[in-house]
Amino acid sequence: KDAVTSIDFDPSGRTVATGSTDGSARLWAALPEGTLIRVDERKPAVPVRAVWAGKRLVSVAGHEARLRTRSGHLLRSLNLPAPITAVVTRSSRVAFLDQRGNVATGWNGRGVPTAGRATALAFAGDGTLLVGSRDGSVRGYARSGTIAQVGGPVLGLSTGGGRFLVRLRDSLRVYTDAGTLVSTIHAAAQHAVLSPGGLGVATTKGTVAEL
């Protein structure tokens, strides 16, 4: 009934999850085409983002995240101190970031200690949770020390092919998972993602998308 705010395929590629400004999360049969199933709804209506965590659906709206089955059964929920700005998943693992820079690594609300206020999250290929911060650091949860110091507030993170991409205000930097700088792209972008193989970058800014 309103704008779609997120879209995500399940691991099999047969089901699509969407979140919407109408306050709902819905499942769509991708192959073959089939019936739309509403699995979550927020009242009053607020924008919802929906992503897969393994075979379960995570829906996020405001301060609250919910874990649901494909049939819509509520399994877990989590409320963070501030509105949730990012959610990342790897298989059944999930991590959340809120507006205040708090990071929760699961449904018990357990946090990740960060030296600077957290601003971005991503899971690396080996399962390490990468945390980018306002102080320009990228750290790995359960690793000791800083993986990379990128020279400015981290606006976004993306991973692929044993590498991770850091989005800064005026540039993009690609590092190996060990923290060695591979490439710097001097371009401002609103969104940036690393290709699954780690050899390409897709960006958007306004009405322009580039590779």
Give kind and range of the element (H or E) at residue 164.
Answer: strand 163-167
Structure confidence by residue, pLDDT tens digits, 24-62: 999 998 766 667 788 999 988 899 999 999 999 999 999
Is there a contact between 114 and 121 (Cβ–Cβ < 8 Å)?
no
Q: What is the pTM of this model?
A: 0.87
SS3 132: strand
Structure confidence by residue, pLDDT tens digits, 154-205: 999 999 999 999 999 999 999 999 999 999 999 999 999 999 999 999 999 9
Cα 96 from Cα 141, distance rounded (Å): 13
Structure confidence by residue, pLDDT tens digits, 63-110: 999 999 998 999 999 999 899 999 999 999 999 999 999 899 989 877
The pLDDT of residue 33 is 67
Q: 67 phi and psi, to 5 degrees?
A: -110, 120
Cα 106 from Cα 1, distance rounded (Å): 31
Relative to beta strand 172-176, strand 181-185 is: antiparallel
Structure confidence by residue, pLDDT tens digits, 2-24: 899 999 998 888 899 999 999 99
Is there a contact between 25 and 8 (Cβ–Cβ < 8 Å)?
no
Relative to beta strand 146-149, strand 15-20 is: unpaired
Write out the two tokens for 166. 């850091």
Write out the two tokens for 54. 């393994």
